[in-house]
Structure 1
Amino acid sequence: MEIDRATLDQIARVAPRLAARAGTRVLEGIAWPRDVEERFFAEGEARLPEVTYSPDREALRKRIAELDELLRSVDGDHPVLAWLRDCIRSQIEGAELLNAAGTRDFHTRSCALYGSASSSFFGGQLRNRDLAEHLAARMTIHGWDEASDPHDEPLNAPALRDFLASRIAARRPALDVEVTLDPRITAKVVAGMTRVRIRPDATFTPREAEGLWVHEVETHALTAHNGAAQPVLTFLRSGGPRSTRTQEGLALFAELYHRTLSIGRLVRLATRVRLVDMAEQGASFLDLYRFLREQGSERRDAYFDAQRVCRGGLVEGGAPFTKDACYLGGLLEVYAFLAAVLRGGLRDEVELLVCGRLALDDIAALSALRATGAVVRPRYLPEWLRAWDTLLPFFAFTSFMDGIDLDPVEQHFRSLLDVAALAGPPSSGSGSEGKRAAAPKVEAPRGKARRGA
């Protein structure tokens, strides 16, 4: 894709103006104060929370007007200019979303930006909720197995702060990210480009701590810093809502690749998609909270997940915030992208994925801009990408599965599970042999497995 001088001149003119107006703090603007949480529990968990949103609407209107003017100033049909207009629109749409907080229109705009529980993949019939239901079902624990993980002492908030701070301090090149305790936040952790805030009363498993490192610091903070370090396109430090699906998918891929994505974490992500679906169909905050409690969630965890879905929208139901519906879909799309690109050995294109906060569809435009010097290699690489010698073999092996008919494999291992089902241990205290539940069916895709790389 050749880029002419006039197009490059437009990009050089528009980019700094967009950078100065990028970064609407949507999540901060719709966050629920801690007193809403405390009042909910003090009143016996029986009343809908009362939340008032007070964004600076005058400032938002001014930002939208300035961005609209900037959008109109981009003139031309070159694909790179179309991409630039998409970037500007994303910032406009983020501001419009925040401006609609507390109204039914908030949900409409949220769906346009993040999708919904019923959004499909690659134009097909499978939807976000189908993926979530499949993963939740596959995480179900079967049988009487007595093997278990060793007990690990949880980390308190100061311990997590020290853990993250030490990892950040040891990183090279140095990454400027501060880790602090903040009693005002509702979530256990809130992370941005330069700061990670931790709720002082929160606790974390060691695996959760590792997951936060690769998700929040090694992905979200890292891509923001890479965007800010670009010579021309510094607005890539904040990709706007259009980049969310890819950025969350990239962060989940890091968790998966580094084996920090636990059963509990994956089930919780799948459950959040279901919560979005329920809320879209009319479930209120209380319906979501009570559903989670019935599923075994702790009180604070149930509150947190229910408020994630209701924040910005209507607590009485019908108009939720749909961002949580895009995490798993983003993971699937990032995995598919990496599989396809790595098959061609295109390491440069993989590096482009972390040169800022961007969407997968941006890669073509960024690749063309890289040839002009307007985009440079990312200064910071996540650990999974630095370990290129382990990344390529992973996808190369999984690609071989494309040519294997899994039906006989499934039959073979199902018979082994049938044998194992009859070998249950004696029931405690009864003296008679225990009966293990019927062996679970080993599900596998019919015909050929999905291609890896």
Structure 2
Amino acid sequence: MKDQKYKNIILELSLILNELQKPIQILDSVKWSEGIEDFLVKNKFKELPEISYDNRPLKYDPVKKLQEFKELRLKIQRELGARDPLGLIMTRNCIQYEDVIRMLMARGKSDFYDYSKKLYGSANEVMGDGKTKLSDLAHVMSGLLNSLDENMLGESLERTLSSEQVVGELKIRLGEYFKDERIKVKLSDGIISDASAGSDYIKIKSDLRFSKKDLDIFEVHEGWVHLGTTLNGQNQPYAKWLAKGPPCSTATQEGLAVTMELFNFAMFPRRAKRLNDRLVACQMAEDGADLLEVIRFFKDKGQEDYQAVKNAGRIFRGAPLTGGSPFTKDISYLKGFVMIYNFMRMSIKEGRADLIPFLFAGKVTLDELPVLKDYHDEGVITLPKYLPPQIKDMNGLAIWMAFSNFLNRMKLEDMFQEKKNLEVTNPFRKVA
């Protein structure tokens, strides 16, 4: 067990790190000024607007902030040594925040993309198997999702709930889930997405209509995962940095949220298409498509003008509008899902299901989970206080992943081959 002196050092360094990163607000720093969307729509998407970030200065001196993080890195090494596992995680987070600052200093320039790709990844990157590109997933999923007819799948997805009704219902649901916390759910005009989570609140975009499925998504995605991991990090007695998420934790966060949507059967085709379209659009922009081309992509998907602008704008926030160097954060949803799902499969296969709850310990990455488990055994890291039911009791999850590991070996194409002497016919064969 680690002694109290070590624990106190971890706490002190955590609090310094949290305080240093506090003014660094990435999405707020890359917001477009008012009038850009109107300009695009009124010009019928024939002309790129001029976007300047001069009217959105950073809320800190970036050069000074870079020096502060450098000094903290040196302090971590002095206090904990160069090889302490928790010290290495905090040092990595310092470096991440330094790269965020450099990225934001390059808003509107191609260098912005270089840092974005370093921090969040690329739609063209190769996944863990060493051969499959993330963009391959997008194109395979496009075909599969287009074959799904929501009208044949069950519950109606009609948007009958007002923003106010969603706020009221979420207050009840999350009040029961986070019994010992004072959670706020409120309306907001200032968010880009339909919902967002903060340190102790969830915002719902006002003046919109939602389906019951949307409500279920908000409960799981924003509530159980984003808000839950923040609160679990805040409830850590020493490792307080876990309440704050550097960019390297984004894929884990968004992937975990998407995974829990699936485990809770809250996901639906329209939602999956939105996430997949973001990945496709990001690849288009990386491959050279400009803002107007990406807007047309979303309009071809049937989106209204302003919705298409909003979705395309997510990929060009902070980035040049001419293509080739976008903001790649939106790949995190499906990239993270692949990472999380495969991590769970491997954890079950290797008999390490004890690592899975630590996904909810705070804003984490997959490679640090064994470290967190080891330091839990040392009395430094606590188990997450708030866990979804599927993780509290992992019996069902374990069996799901065990079957998944086996079924992954079977090729669907081999199961229903149509051969002359084959007794089993293909039930999915289209009859002329």
TM-score normalised by structure 1 residue count: 0.84
Distance 1:157 1:147 in 2: 27
- Name the structure 2 match of 1:271: 277
| Structure 1, gaps ≥5 residues long | 423-434, 436-453
Local SS of the residue matching 1:131: helix
- Name the structure 2 match of 1:397: 403
- Name the structure 1 match of 2:262: 256
Identity rate of aligned residues, in percent?
A: 27
Local SS of the residue matching 1:196: strand
User: Does the CA contact (< 8 Å) of 2:2 and 2:379 recur in 1?
Assistant: no
Local SS of the residue matching 1:326: helix
Local SS of the residue matching 1:197: strand
- Name the structure 1 match of 2:145: 139
Cα drift, residue 29 of structure 1:
1.6
Deviation by residue 1:351-402 (Cα, 9 ceiling, x = unmatched): 1111010110111221222122111111111233124232222223323325
When the two chains are superposed, the root-mean-square deviation of aligned CA atoms in Å is: 2.7
2:348 to 319, 327, 342: 342
Segment of structure 1 superposing worse, 244-253 or 318-327: 318-327
Deviation by residue 1:252-298 (Cα, 9 ceiling, x = unmatched): 10111111222122222222112111112222211111121123223
Change in 2 beyond 3 A, CA 1:184/1:239: closer
Q: How many residues align?
A: 419
User: Does the CA contact (< 8 Å) of 1:16 and 1:232 recur in 2?
Assistant: no
- Name the structure 1 match of 2:75: 73
User: Does the CA contact (< 8 Å) of 1:250 and 1:331 recur in 2?
Assistant: yes
Deviation by residue 1:380-434 (Cα, 9 ceiling, x = unmatched): 112331242322222233233256565542327872122xx33xxxxxxxxxxxx
Describe how 1:19-58 pairs up with structure 2 within 5 A: 19-23=18-22, 24-53=24-53, 54-56=56-58, 58=60
Distance 1:73 1:294 in 2: 53
- Name the structure 1 match of 2:421: none
Cα drift, residue 235 of structure 1:
1.1
Segment of structure 1 superposing worse, 110-119 or 53-62: 53-62
Local SS of the residue matching 2:428: helix
Distance 2:153 2:370 in 1: 46
TM-score normalised by structure 2 residue count: 0.88
Segment of structure 1 superposing worse, 215-224 or 133-142: 133-142
1:416 to 412, 424, 427: 427
- Name the structure 1 match of 2:114: 108
Change in 2 beyond 3 A, CA 1:316/1:177: farther
User: Does the CA contact (< 8 Å) of 1:246 and 1:360 recur in 2?
Assistant: yes
| Structure 2, gaps ≥5 residues long | 419-423
Distance 1:321 1:403 in 2: 36
User: Does the CA contact (< 8 Å) of 2:123 and 2:331 recur in 1?
Assistant: yes
1:298 to 300, 304, 317: 304
Describe how 1:37-436 pairs up with structure 2 within 5 A: 37-53=37-53, 54-56=56-58, 58-75=60-77, 76-80=81-85, 81-122=87-128, 124-141=130-147, 147=152, 149-154=154-159, 155-402=161-408, 404=410, 406=412, 408-411=414-417, 415-418=426-429, 421-422=430-431
Change in 2 beyond 3 A, CA 1:8/1:150: closer
Local SS of the residue matching 2:52: coil
Distance 1:243 1:410 in 2: 41
Distance 1:67 1:134 in 2: 42
